[in-house]
């Protein structure tokens, strides 16, 4: 059976009770894995247990079918007249100990594998826990590595810890780098030391490179530690410790865990977020969130983490799908092997796969609704990440206010924000990823970067042009975090355009700009798929509009404005592998024509990638019409991170925001009907007057 045959709409009887946009269930994941493992075992003449299911994700229905489905769902058609779209899963797998990747599609309703392809050789799968386990076994029992470590003069009972990094491609390896793991090594402390000791204060100047297929240490790379003599860097004041007289001499403990810190400050009084009548949102059908006039579906995905579907406001469609597509973190240090330091957190690992279990009162304050996340294991099972997504309301400050200057009467409404967020941890860094819905029909995607900056050892009394010394002898290299957010719009329908507006001064003349104050807004539309760059100097603004729906007040098409920071784009040289594999990170805004499966800004397979060949740059290279068409907008934003001493031992959250705001979509401020007082527990003065 072909994939298409498996997804024909079927009237009447519902084959599957789950909504097409529901997260894959544990049962579905195991069903898909079992079918693929059995079939792959026969196909490749191996035991089914040798089949490694790297990633299992929902294969969304073709959009043309889903649009019909949603039209019926939001229309007046009775439930039993709806058609059903069988659910499908996509399974990426390989055979244990090999790198060749395969992708299968399983029709879950029929419990059948409907297609299977052999991926090109350069498509490497995620670095998985099985490979990591092999890596740890190999370094733990390697006499070469033990000898190398002993040359550092470390105490015999030192405990080591590793950050496994993909080998990485460069111009020497070409497009098929070996699938080795680089074990960026740290001393976690001495035997018996607290398990939460911050290892990033004690980087080792050596790195084992492990061939996980051959289960062997291939070589041991020296990690450059040279710096520029800097007499302003003083000797550590904390005195000697277990590193004294070793290669790590001078490194000092620098901890974040409260067990290892002096008592915390004592002058904070409780701050409670109280919702005495409960929350104002509902969650039904497992995935449908309704809050105020908002309505959308939430899905948890192995790769993308949170995916939002069918986002609507007051029964008008806004977005078919919202997601983080990819992010990359390239480092600036040219000294080998640092030159290959570059992560693609979604493609290399999966935002869902490395999602945290969130905790009440810490990650989210107030009355919280949690969604569990279910992800596949490499062995074909499914595991639940409890509380992977949290949903809650926050106070958002003043929503709107006016004081009548004559009467002094003030009217103001307090803003409430609905937040849906997840947190991913990959090695040293943690990212809190949140969609924030407001009462003025705005949506903000917020990235909060926190965690620990990646460190390497640097010679005593030196600093570096490649980063900042953030703790004695610990260099945090300069790097960038570049995020690509995928916006699949449905502004009052699925045929949209992107309008570019620039505010430009007019030349002085004797007819119009007589006094020199004049400027105007120039408008153009993006006609063909491609990219644009931000230009704050002309206030370049991008709007997604529906040219067939006109706002009767302004006469403008209904639209949503994209407000994104004009971040610095990727700094790596365009000819470098770092740049070629992250073309999406070279321009701020991209518009592609919608095609099913065009989801991956950096390509579907990013691990050890050499060049982005099947990602966003390929989608737009088709040079298709994107005006009054089904289009996708991709926004790249980022942080050029020059580490500060204050970013260590754990970094205060650094926020990055993308806001989608209605622009001539409504006939007035859509938040005008928000009540001006909904607080049952009135606020009070903090202190008596004069206190």
The catalytic residues are 345, 429
CB 496 within 8 A of CB 552: no
Q: Could you tell me the smallest distance in angstroms from the CB atom of residue 129 to Cu ion?
A: 25
DSSP structural state of residue 263: P
- Tokens matching residue 223: 């990690």
Q: Where are the alpha helices (DSSP H) in 496-576?
A: none
CB 324 → Cu ion: shortest distance, Å? 17
Contact present, 362 and 621 (Cβ < 8 Å): no
Measured CA to CA, the distance from residue 682 to residue 510 in angstroms comes to 59
The helix/strand/coil state of 303 is coil
Q: Which of 229, 428, 412 is nearest to 345 (CA)?
A: 428
The pair of three-digit structure tokens given for residue 483, joined into one six-digit string: 């995020």
Which CB sits closer to Cu ion, 593 or 641?
641
Cis amide linkage into residue 337, ω under 30° from 0: yes
Joined together, the tokens standing for residue 582 give 């992250």
Which residue, 413 or 426, has its beta carbon nearer to Cu ion?
426
Least Å from the CB of residue 469 to Cu ion = 16
Task: Please report how close the Cβ of residue 647 comes to Cu ion at its closest, in angstroms.
Answer: 7
79 secondary structure, DSSP code:
G
Other C-beta atoms within 10 Å of 683: how many?
Answer: 7
**Using CB atoms, what's the residue nearest to Cu ion?**
641
Pick from 37, 115, 18, 58: which is nearest to 375 by CA?
Answer: 58
Return the number of other C-beta atoms located less than 10 Å from residue 46's C-beta: 16
Question: 481 vs 543, which CB is nearer to Cu ion?
Answer: 481
Per CB under 5 A, residues contacting Cu ion are 641
CA distance linking residue 546 with residue 471, whole number of Å: 53
How far apart are the C-alpha atoms of 482 and 658, rounded to whole Å?
A: 13
Taking CA 427 as the corner, what is the angle to CA 423 and CA 430, rounded to the nearest 5 degrees?
Answer: 25
Quote the CA–CA distance of 6 and 23 in Å, as a whole number. 19
Nearest partner of 456 among 193, 165, 167, judged by Cα: 165
Return the number of the residue (332 or 544) whose C-beta is nearest Cu ion.
Answer: 332
Nearer to Cu ion, 540 or 641 (CB): 641
Choice between 543 and 641, CB closer to Cu ion: 641
C-alpha neighbours within 13 Å on the C-beta side of residue 685: 5
* Phi, psi dihedral angles at 630 (to 5 degrees): -85, 105
Strand partners, 561: 543, 661
- Residue closer to Cu ion, measured from CB, 22 or 468: 468
Cβ-based nearer residue to Cu ion, 19 or 641: 641
Shortest distance (Å) from residue 480 CB to Cu ion: 8
CB of 643 to Cu ion, least distance (A): 7
User: What's the closest the beta carbon of residue 481 comes to Cu ion, in angstroms?
Assistant: 5
CB contact at 8 A, 9 and 68: yes
């Amino acid at each position: 059976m072909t994939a298409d045959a498996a997804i024909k709409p079927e009237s009447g009887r519902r084959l599957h009770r789950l909504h097409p946009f529901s997260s894959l269930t544990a049962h579905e994941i195991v069903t898909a894995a079992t079918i693929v493992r059995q079939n792959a075992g026969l196909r490749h003449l191996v035991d089914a247990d040798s089949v490694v299911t790297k990633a299992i994700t929902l294969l969304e229905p073709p959009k043309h079918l889903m649009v019909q489905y949603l039209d019926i769902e939001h229309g007046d058609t009775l439930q039993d007249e709806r058609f059903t779209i069988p659910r499908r899963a996509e399974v990426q797998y390989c055979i244990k100990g090999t790198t060749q990747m395969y992708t299968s599609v399983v029709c879950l309703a029929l419990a059948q594998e409907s297609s299977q392809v052999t991926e090109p050789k350069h498509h490497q799968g995620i670095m998985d826990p099985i490979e990591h386990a092999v890596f740890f076994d190999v370094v733990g029992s390697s006499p070469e590595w033990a000898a190398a470590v002993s040359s550092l003069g470390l105490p015999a009972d030192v405990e080591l810890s590793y950050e496994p990094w993909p080998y990485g491609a460069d111009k020497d390896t070409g497009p098929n780098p070996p699938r080795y793991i680089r074990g960026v090594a740290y001393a976690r402390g001495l035997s018996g030391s607290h398990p939460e000791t911050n290892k990033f204060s004690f980087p080792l100047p050596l790195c084992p490179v492990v061939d996980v297929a051959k289960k062997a240490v291939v070589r041991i790379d020296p990690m450059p530690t040279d710096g520029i003599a800097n007499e302003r860097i003083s000797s550590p004041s904390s005195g000697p410790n277990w590193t004294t007289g070793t290669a790590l001499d001078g490194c000092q403990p620098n901890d974040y865990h409260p067990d290892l810190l002096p008592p915390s400050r004592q002058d904070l009084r409780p701050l409670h977020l109280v919702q005495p009548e409960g929350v104002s949102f509902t969650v039904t059908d497992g995935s449908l969130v309704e809050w105020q006039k908002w309505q959308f579906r939430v899905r948890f995905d192995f790769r993308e983490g949170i995916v939002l579907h069918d986002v609507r406001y007051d029964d008008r469609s806004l977005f078919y799908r919202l997601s983080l597509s990819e992010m990359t973190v390239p480092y600036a240090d040219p000294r080998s092997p640092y030159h290959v330091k570059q992560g693609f957190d979604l493609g290399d690992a999966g935002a869902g796969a490395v999602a945290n279990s969130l905790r009440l009162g810490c990650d989210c304050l107030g009355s919280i609704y949690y969604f569990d996340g279910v992800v596949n294991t490499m062995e074909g099972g499914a595991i639940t990440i409890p509380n992977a997504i949290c949903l809650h309301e926050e106070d958002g400050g003043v929503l709107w206010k006016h004081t009548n200057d004559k009467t002094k009467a003030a009217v103001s409404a307090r803003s409430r924000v609905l937040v849906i967020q997840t947190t991913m941890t990959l090695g040293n860094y943690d990212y809190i990823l949140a969609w924030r819905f407001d009462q003025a029909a705005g949506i903000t995607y917020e990235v909060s970067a926190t965690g620990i900056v990646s460190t390497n050892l640097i010679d005593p009394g030196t600093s570096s042009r490649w980063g900042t010394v953030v703790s004695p002898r610990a260099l945090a290299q300069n790097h960038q975090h570049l995020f690509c957010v995928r916006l699949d719009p449905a502004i009052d329908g699925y045929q949209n355009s992107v309008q570019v507006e620039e505010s430009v001064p007019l030349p002085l003349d004797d007819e119009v700009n007589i006094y020199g104050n004049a400027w105007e807004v120039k408008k153009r539309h993006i006609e063909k798929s491609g990219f644009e760059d931000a230009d704050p100097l002309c206030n370049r603004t991008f709007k997604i509009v529906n040219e067939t729906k006109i706002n009767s007040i302004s006469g403008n098409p209904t639209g949503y404005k994209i407000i994104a920071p004009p971040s610095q784009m990727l700094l790596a040289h365009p000819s470098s592998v770092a740049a070629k594999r992250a073309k999406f990170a070279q321009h701020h805004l991209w518009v592609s024509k919608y095609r099913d499966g065009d989801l991956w800004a950096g390509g579907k397979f990013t691990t050890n990638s050499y060049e982005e060949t099947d990602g966003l740059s390929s989608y737009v290279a088709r040079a298709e019409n994107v005006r009054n068409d089904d289009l996708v907008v991709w926004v790249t934003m980022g942080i050029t991170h020059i580490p500060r001493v204050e970013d260590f031992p754990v970094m205060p959250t650094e926020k990055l925001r993308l806001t989608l705001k209605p622009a001539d979509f409504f006939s007035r401020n859509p938040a005008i009907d928000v009540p001006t007082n909904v607080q049952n527990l009135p606020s009070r003065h903090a202190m008596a007057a004069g206190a």
